[in-house]
Amino acid sequence: MKITLEKYHGLGNDYLIFDPNKNELKLTKEAVRLICNRNFGVGSDGLLVGPILGEDKMTVKILNPDGSEAELSGNGVRIFGKYLKDAGYVQKNHFTVNTLSGEQQIHYLNEEGTRIKVSMGHLSFWSDEIPMTGPRREVLNETMMFGSIPYRVTCVSIGNPHCVIWLSDISKDLACRIGRHSEAAECFPEKVNTELLRVVDRTNIEIEIYERGAGYTLASGTSGCAAAGAAYKMGLTDPKMYVHMPGGVLEVEIEEDGSVLMTGDVGYVGKFTLSHEMVEQLRSL
Binding-site sequence positions for substrate: 13, 64, 74-75, 160, 193, 211-212, 221-222
Cis, bond preceding 131 (omega within 30 deg of 0): yes
CA 169, chain centre distance (Å): 23
- Contact residues for 27 (Cβ-Cβ < 8 A; gap 6+): 18, 47, 49, 63
Cα 141 to Cα 270: distance, rounded to the nearest angstrom: 43
Cα 198 to Cα 69: distance, rounded to the nearest angstrom: 29
Strand partners, 57: 54
Give the CB-side neighbour count of residue 85, counting CA atoms within 13 A.
Answer: 26
Amino acid (1-letter code) at residue 21: N
> Binding site: residue ranges?
13, 64, 74-75, 160, 193, 211-212, 221-222
What burial letters (b/e) apply to 102-138, b meaning 16+ CB within 10 Å? Answer: eebebbbeeeebbbbbbbbbbbbbebeebebeeeeee
